[in-house]
């Protein structure tokens, strides 16, 4: 009797664990993102800062810092602002797109995903 009860309990625990793992796997695949492509930082500067500053150029101020992208006025050479990478992903790839980053120490590792 005890052996039968122990086997039933073990079987119930295995079924519960297997069901939980199955649900976990489904949740992970449902939340997986798809890489859409790179981010055009020059386009982002133009879209986000060209008015009222006129033509602007995307520049990296620190080659070891992904967050060092800035927009510089072509007329004055003054940094006019940073880049909203999420906003550029939406402009390039449409609603629901958002930014991703391969490495915080690589300014060229930005990408867009959905």
CB contact at 8 A, 20 and 85: no
pLDDT tens for 45-89 read 999 998 888 999 999 999 999 999 999 999 999 999 999 999 999
Q: How far apart are CA 2 and CA 78, in angstroms?
A: 81
Mean pLDDT over the full length of the chain: 82
Which residues, 6 or more positions from 10, have their beta carbon under 8 angstroms from its beta carbon? Answer: none
| CA trace torsion 62, 67, 68, 71 (10° rounding) | 150
For the entire predicted model, the pTM comes to 0.71
**Who contacts 96 (Cβ-Cβ below 8 Å, separation ≥6)?**
90, 114
Q: What is the C-alpha separation between 10 and 26, in angstroms, rounded?
A: 24
| Mean pLDDT, residues 3-7 | 43
Question: Residue 56's Cα: distance from chain center in Å?
Answer: 25
User: Which whole number is the average pLDDT over 8-28?
Assistant: 40
């Amino acid at each position: 009797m005890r052996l039968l009860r122990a086997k039933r309990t073990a079987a119930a625990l295995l079924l519960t664990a297997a069901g939980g793992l199955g649900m976990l796997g489904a949740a992970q695949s449902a939340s997986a993102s798809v890489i859409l492509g790179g981010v055009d930082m020059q386009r982002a500067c133009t879209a986000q800062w060209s008015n009222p500053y006129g033509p602007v150029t995307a520049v990296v101020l620190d080659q070891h810092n992904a967050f060092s992208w800035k927009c510089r006025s072509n007329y004055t050479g003054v940094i006019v602002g940073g880049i909203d990478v999420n906003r550029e992903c939406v402009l390039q790839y449409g609603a629901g797109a958002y930014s991703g980053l391969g490495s915080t120490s690589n300014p060229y590792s930005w990408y867009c995903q959905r």
